[in-house]
Amino acid sequence: MSATPDSTLANPEQRIADLERQLAEYRAERDEALAERAATAEILQIINSSPGDLTSVFNAILEKAHTLCGIAFGSLLIREGAEFCVVAAREKDNDPSGGSRYIKVRREQDRFRPPEGTPLWRVSEGARLVHLSDATADDSYYHAPAYARLIDAGGVRTLLLVPLRKDDELLGAITAFRREVRPFSEKEIGLLQNFAAQAVIAMENARLITETREALEQQAATAEVLGVINSSPGDLVPVFDAILEKATQLCEAPFGVLRTWDGERFHVIAAQGDPEFTEWARGYGPFAPADPSSPAGRIVSGEEVVRFADAPEGEALSISAGFRALVEASGMRSGVIVALRKDGALRGNVTVFRREVRPFTEKQIALLQNFAAQAVIAMENARLLTETREALDQQTATAEVLQVINSSPGDLAPVFDAMLEKALHLCGAAYGSMHAWDGEAFPIVALRGVPPALVEVFRERELFKPTPGNVAERIAAGETVIRATDLREEPHYLAGARPARAIVELGAGRSYACIALRKDNALLGALTMWRTEIRPFTDKQIALLQSFAAQAVIAMENARLLGELRERTHQLEQSLEYQTATSDVLQVISRSTFDLKPVLDTVIHTAARLCQAEVGHIATRDGDVYRPLAGFGVSPTEREALIRTRVFNADNTTFVGRAVSEGKVIHVADVQTEPAYASSPVVVRSTVSEPFSQCRCCAWENRSASFHSDAGGSSRSRTARSNWCAPSPTRRSSRWRTRACSASCGNGRMR
């Protein structure tokens, strides 16, 4: 009871004592407040001076809490999912009563789940505070043996547990223990809650700082990857190396592999880790998922993310031999695989892993998916760039081939050479050949890059005749495109066909493609490309080869039309030349009515010129023999000697005799091949002799004209048929007879 004025006046000493006591209480409250403020200020200063460093903040909070709240020992816990872990602990100096044992047990647990009903479990279920005056009297002490062992190990009696919450989200808890039954006061509980709030502030600041730092690191990594993409257009290897390096660094995964998918198999393009692992990964060849339930099979089946908490303990190890090899070679424990997809189409995957059991967080997986998206962008950019470059290369190649066609009208050899050169380059083939169809076989018309040992074999026409089951037979039967992954697995090779055997053994041929050349369903030939490795030609490459085949058909058709045009022009020129020659001869006839020699000279000169002969003569009948009457290609002296001395019997010993006796044209391409004339004194190689027709209406006698070419002239010899009628010696007036014949039958001119 407070003293009354009378009692105070009556006992001033009591009054002084009361005032001194009140002053002491006020000073104590002031000191506590100042200590709390100082502790709060110190903690805030630590938070400010150590942004993102929670360890020093948590240690300072526990130190101040123990000092101000009379705590024997305690800890600060962080929640990770449904588990908790100790991040800071404190006890009194030289405490022999069990606090160290409690803290040691908690630290050894690493992460743990609180048993149901225990104080920490109640906090995780939403309790705002758990305060036990005597922990050994609580039901959880009797129903949770593990929890009871911890209480006993630390000699805990009074317990206070304050949660760390941010917007109702549980982040962790502060635990405070006393070894005697001495409940915490409201002020101590409030002070501990204040420290918990500071811990939440520190954690939130650290989270924001960490997220900001991670965002900056991700932006820097993204910028660096984009820089690599920009500096290496179309070259994916440095891009994938940069992506994998940044992904493993930011996801805290020392090891990683990036693979591409070709529709059937995965191919390792980049690897990250120690030299031994990267060497193993790069040497691991392409593989196809053996089982849909294997990790790679799940990615192919449509899953976006496949994760392993502890790979050696999972069922994937027994399902997939390839995954088992990866785990054994790398020592993988926790890992994750993320698919690379473009519009739902699988393009590859990226795998990162650790050699410790520490599963990847959702944030790390999201980061890995971001890197996967960058890899897809790089692949798409490379594809577009490659397609653009290929389109330009194809357009350039087409323009060059068309230019060759234009500059070589009718000459197919340079056209085919240019086509093969461009086709080999653009389709990535080792060698190729162009074949023409002659109705029975596909003889070679052009080769490019063919090994010398195989060239001579290819030149054999019989090699490319259609036989049952071979490529030539299939093309001749109507197929347009034939391609094979490995010639050694083709039936005609296994059957021992000589062409296939030669291509494999002499040319190391493996994958090939053959394209038919057709014009309006008419077979003109074939275009064949070969590779010396097992790498099938793609649909795009087949389409390109078909484009070259179409150009070859255009060139062949142009050559045919040009040849026909030239032949027709030549025929017209010949016809005009013949008509002119005929007109010249008729003019001579009209001027030489009674003199036969100028007419015959003109005839033999004109005929020899038109037939491109070097030597020629006209012989007339003189009894049973024939004597030269006109000649061409010899000197006047030789011609006179020929006329006086040369005689042709009407038998098979001379060309003139054969022509007269057989009544037909005698054409010998090479005199030296005729045994009967090989010893002839006239040095000629090609010759043609033709009898003049006898005029039935006027009984003119036969005459013969002969033309000769020197060596090599057989390819230019042309046969000219000349009919000439001479007056019969039984008639009296040759002038009358000639006129009569000309009027009656029209003979007397060269036809």
Claim to verify: residue 200 and residue 238 sit in the same structural domain: no
pLDDT tens readout for residues 407-452: 777 778 888 888 888 889 888 899 999 999 998 889 888 999 999 8
Q: How many independent structural domains does the chain possess?
A: 4
Distance of alpha carbon 557 from alpha carbon 560, whole angstroms: 5
- pTM, two decimals, is 0.55
CA 279 distance to own-chain centroid: 24
Q: Is the pLDDT of residue 395 over 60?
A: yes
Note whether residue 88 is domain-resident. yes
Would you say 194 and 52 are in contact if contact means Cβ atoms under 8 Å apart? no
Q: Averaging pLDDT over each range in 36-45, 113-122, 372-381, 705-714, which range is the top one?
A: 113-122
Claim to verify: residue 145 and residue 71 sit in the same structural domain: yes
Claim to verify: residue 236 and residue 192 sit in the same structural domain: no
Helix H segments across 129-185? Answer: 139-143, 145-154
Q: Is the pLDDT of residue 10 over 70?
A: no
Claim to verify: residue 264 and residue 413 sit in the same structural domain: no
Claim to verify: residue 176 and residue 316 sit in the same structural domain: no
pLDDT score for 42? 67
As given in the structure block, the two tokens for residue 644 are 């006086």
Claim to verify: residue 64 and residue 194 sit in the same structural domain: yes
The residues that bridge with 528 in the sheet, in sequence order, are: 433, 514
Distance of alpha carbon 195 from alpha carbon 176, whole angstroms: 12
Claim to verify: residue 72 and residue 130 sit in the same structural domain: yes
- φ and ψ at 629, to 5 degrees? -115, -25
With cut-offs at 50, 70 and 90, classify the pLDDT of residue 6: low
- φ and ψ at 545, to 5 degrees? -65, -35
Claim to verify: residue 621 and residue 531 sit in the same structural domain: no
Distance of alpha carbon 70 from alpha carbon 76, whole angstroms: 16
pLDDT score for 628? 83
Range of the domain at 609: 592-744
Note whether residue 734 is domain-resident. yes
**Nearest by Cα to 72 from 12, 159, 202, 150:** 159
Overall average pLDDT of the 139-162 stretch: 91
pLDDT tens readout for residues 558-598: 888 887 888 888 888 888 888 888 887 788 777 776 677 78
pLDDT tens readout for residues 59-118: 887 887 788 788 888 889 999 888 998 888 888 654 544 456 666 666 666 788 999 999
With cut-offs at 50, 70 and 90, classify the pLDDT of residue 475: very high
SS3 sequence of 485-509: CCHHHCHHHHCCCHHHHHHHHHHCC
Separation in Å, CA 430 to CA 434, 552, 620 = 14, 20, 69
pLDDT tens readout for residues 166-188: 988 999 999 999 999 999 999 88
With cut-offs at 50, 70 and 90, classify the pLDDT of residue 739: very low
Claim to verify: residue 201 and residue 266 sit in the same structural domain: no
Q: Which CATH number do you get for residue 511?
A: 3.30.450.40
SS3 sequence of 391-455: HHHHHHHHHHHHHHHHHCCCCHHHHHHHHHHHHHHHHCCCEEEEEECCCCCCCEEEEECCCHHHH
Overall average pLDDT of the 330-349 stretch: 91
Reduced to 3 states (helix: H, G, I; strand: E, B; else coil), residue 338 is: strand
Q: What is the DSSP string of 281-308?
A: HHHS--B--S-TTSHHHHHHHT-SEEEE
Would you say 177 and 66 are in contact if contact means Cβ atoms under 8 Å apart? no
- φ and ψ at 136, to 5 degrees? -75, -10
Q: Is the pLDDT of residue 210 over 90?
A: no
Q: Is the pLDDT of residue 684 over 80?
A: no
Claim to verify: residue 255 and residue 179 sit in the same structural domain: no
Would you say 284 and 266 are in contact if contact means Cβ atoms under 8 Å apart? no
pLDDT score for 338? 94
| 33-37, 229-233, 318-322, 612-616: least confidently modelled range | 33-37
Q: CA-based Rg of the chain, rounded to a whole angstrom?
A: 55
Claim to verify: residue 174 and residue 250 sit in the same structural domain: no
Q: What is the DSSP string of 592-634?
A: -SS-HHHHHHHHHHHHHHHTT-SEEEEEEEETTEEEEEEEESS
With cut-offs at 50, 70 and 90, classify the pLDDT of residue 714: very low
Q: Is the pLDDT of residue 153 over 80?
A: yes
Q: What is the DSSP string of 234-247?
A: T-HHHHHHHHHHHH
As given in the structure block, the two tokens for residue 149 are 């062992």
**Nearest by Cα to 469 from 442, 444, 496, 502:** 496
Q: Averaging pLDDT over each range in 43-57, 289-303, 304-318, 708-722, which range is the top one?
A: 289-303
**Nearest by Cα to 720 from 598, 594, 591, 632:** 632
Of residues 539 and 36, the one with the higher pLDDT is 539
Q: Averaging pLDDT over each range in 41-45, 452-456, 607-611, 656-660, which range is the top one?
A: 452-456
Note whether residue 509 is domain-resident. yes
Overall average pLDDT of the 313-342 stretch: 85
Note whether residue 557 is domain-resident. no
Task: Quote the percentage of the chain above a pLDDT of 70.
Answer: 82
Task: Quote the percentage of the chain above a pLDDT of 90.
Answer: 23
Note whether residue 485 is domain-resident. yes
Claim to verify: residue 345 and residue 418 sit in the same structural domain: no
Overall average pLDDT of the 732-738 stretch: 30
pLDDT score for 712? 42
